[in-house]
Homo-oligomer: A and B are copies of this chain.
Amino acid sequence: MEKFFYPQSVAVVGVSENPANLARGIISNLREFGYQGKIYPVGPRGGNIYGFPILSHIKDLPESVDLAVILTPARYVPQVVADCGRLGISQVVVESAGFSELNEAGRALEEEIRGLLKKYRMRLVGPNGLGLMNMETGLSLPFAEVRPLPRKGRISIISQSGGVATHLLAWMHQEGLGLNKFLSLGNKLDVAENEALAYLLTDPGTEAIYLYLEGLRDGRELMSLAKKATKPIFLHLVNVGPETAAIGQSHTASLTTDERVLEAACRQGGMVRIKSQGEFLVGAKMVGQPPVKGSRLVVLSRSGGEALVAAYACRRWGFKLPPLSKELVVLIQERARAGVIKPTNPIDFGDIFDFTVYSEVMAALCRDSEVDAVLFHYGPVADFEVEPARQMARHLIEQARTAQKPLAITVLCDLKEEEFFRETLGTPVFHFPEEAVQALALSRYLAARGEVQELEKSFGRGGQWVWPPAPSPKPSPPTPYGVIEGPGAEKISAILDQAPPGEFLPLPQALSLIAALGIPVADWQTASSLPEALAAAQRLGFPVVLKLVAPSLLHKTEAGGVLLDLKDAAAVASGFAKLATVVQKHLPAGESWQVLVMSQATGGREVLLGAKQDPAFGPVIAFGAGGVDTEVLEDVALRVAPLNTPEARAMLAETRIGRILAGIRSQPPADLAALSVALLALSQLMLNFPHITEVDLNPVRAFPGQPGILTLDARIRVGERQA
């Protein structure tokens, strides 16, 4: 990627003198941004553009260039790419549209180009994008005019849509946020998000990344990049779920992933999931400031009302407003006229016109290690105040910067003052207290990864952002459960080998597989006749459960195929007869069936353990409230596999049923260790046998005050085995 962002020379192919020519916009941008490398316009009609001669063919270049930008009609692109390849130009940006996003012919063009890239060992950004920008060098390759010119700054953008990115650029300018690098992915024919992200994560100029995607190339890799990242990644992924899936396919070609899986992946990867550009603009305003390391915030305000709005926001976003230090209390009491400022937090500066008091208070806050961040509601109340207030603000910012104290500023009343901060001080400001507190909370969250619990509790999934609550205080190795091997693994393989692809395993096989995996299953036995069933029940001990097993019977409870709490032989006999009538009613004539006799578990709580393959993130593990109410309870935690023990324990703690099983009030805890080991086993199963598409253990019983768990039902589906 370095060569894409830092070329010494650029050829732009497709330029003409025609005012409607799009590629000339690229030359114009390079000039406007002050690009100092060499620029070679290329176009068959020749001529001159912005003082550069237009070469009529790329072969006419006087030297090889580091980068070629192509904006010709799509059908000519393969030829130009091939020419570049022959000339040894190894970085190509294609901005032309008309490829796979349009039709099959376009897709074929992409295939052709892919072959050329391989042949000539070239790399390509695009097609159907806006290329790159690098504010460090003035490289600016979009064909569309970029206005206003971005400020140079700390934020880099990777975007699959040119429109979304340029719209955001305009807003970043408006909000005083500076750009460092910009990459428009387009159709992701070659360079895709993960490679670009990996580069920007090591790029010294980039301190935060906005990543707009309409689909994921490799969600697992994205997650693992994000896990290692030390910079905030704001992920704006919109192609999730049915409404967007249809349009997503015409716009780019992306599989749809599940919203909840995406949430889990973001949380595990430590990415900030945003759902609107507006959320990014708020969070990005703290980029470049020292991290907020705790929950103790002091609010300085020139408006009592705004102070109260901030205090309310603090409660929502997990901040405390601790009492002021003794030093500060004394200072305020000495310096302020009697009764005008109370030494409370928020500090209401409403009637203080002596700005030296502000600086003295700020100095005391900067010295105070018990203060984690300062929120300042700034606003001159009269014309004569404007200039001194600005000087005071400038000084406060310097004080905070020197002391490495995070400082968020909200400008009250006069919006012209916002401009002063952006343009003169180079500091973005917040429009309202809520936004400032929200951004401070995000900073705190990113700094504290995994140690902040309150925010989760206060907001859970309800918050505006999906927070990245790193899974464990200390990262642990991912597979403590180890590889599945020995007789268990052989048994699992043997069962899966006989499984019909795309269908559910018969219940006995599913239960055997789970038992082979080491997850406890209630005792059971199959029976093909009443005497066999009676013998089985006798052996297992009463009460028992009877379950009808037949290939076509998927919803056995609804069909009446599950009979609970059969206390004696007579009950088993009448139950068996009942199941025979269910067979007559629900099964196709001649279908073979069995009865599974299972020891009845009493007491305890029903939970669900599950797993499924996600198209973007691979195997995902689920834990939650089980039983017949599962769907209504909506009490499920998800994690992308592999899990480690702290992650499995965190899954339990994330659910209500998990918190209940941990022991509340007078109830003793259930065997959380056994549940956690079972989740790890499922995780390993999915990794070892990737053709398993779905596992659903529901119910599994856990028993408050008793060791062990018991699986009572299991559904396992197997897909096509990959070669």
- Chain A residues near B (Cβ < 8 Å): 102-103, 144-145, 147, 159-167, 170-171, 174, 212, 214, 238-244, 246-248, 250-251, 275-278, 302-309, 311-316, 320-321, 339, 342, 344, 346, 348, 350, 379, 381-383, 412-415, 431-435, 460-464, 557-558, 628-629, 631-634, 656, 659-660, 664-667
A431 partner residues in chain B, CB cutoff 8 A? 171, 277-278
| Contact of A162 (CB < 8 Å), options: B165, B305, B309 | B305
* Residues in B whose Cβ lies below 8 Å from that of A339: 102-103
Complex Cα gap A125–B239 (Å): 53
15 further interface pairs, Cβ-Cβ under 8 Å (given A275-B313, A632-B659): A144-B382, A163-B302, A164-B305, A166-B413, A170-B413, A243-B315, A247-B346, A250-B342, A250-B348, A251-B305, A275-B316, A275-B434, A276-B434, A558-B666, A634-B656
Report the minimal beta-carbon distance from A343 to chain B, rounded to whole angstroms: 11
A300 to chain B, nearest CB (A): 13
Contacts A558-B666, A632-B664, A656-B634 given; does A239 touch B462 at CB 8 Å: no
Given contacts A314-B243, A344-B247, A659-B632, contact A214 B308 (CB under 8 A): yes
Contacts of A434 in B (CB 8 A): 275-278
Tell me if A381 and B144 are in contact (CB < 8 A): yes
- B462 and A303 form a contact (CB under 8 A): no
Pick the residue among B145, B311, B412, B628 that contacts A247 (CB under 8 A). Answer: B311
Q: Are A247 and B164 in contact (CB under 8 A)?
A: no
Which residues from chain B contact A147 at a C-beta distance below 8 Å?
414
Q: How far is the CA of A252 from the CA of B194 in the complex (A)?
A: 53
Nearest CB in chain B to that of A242: its residue: B315
Q: In the complex, how many angstroms separate the beta carbon of A586 from the nearest chain B beta carbon?
A: 14
**Is there contact, CB below 8 Å, between A163 and B304?**
yes
Instruction: Pick the 6 closest A-B CB pairs, nearest first.
Output: A161-B305, A163-B303, A462-B462, A276-B434, A164-B305, A243-B315
Contact A628 B311 (CB under 8 A): no
Q: A309: which B residues are within 8 A, CB to CB?
A: 164, 238, 276-277
Residue of B nearest to A277 (CB): B432
In the assembled complex, the CB of A105 is this many whole angstroms from the nearest CB of chain B, namely 10
Give the contacting residue for A312; candidates B160, B243, B412, B665; CB below 8 A.
B243
Partner of A632, one of B165, B275, B656: B656
Q: In the complex, A638→B164 CA distance in Å?
A: 42
Q: How far is the CA of A344 from the CA of B243 in the complex (A)?
A: 12
Which of chain B's residues have a CB closer than 8 A to the CB of A161? 303-306, 308
Chain B residues with CB under 8 A of A348: 250-251
Cross-chain contact A303 with B415 (CB below 8 angstroms): no
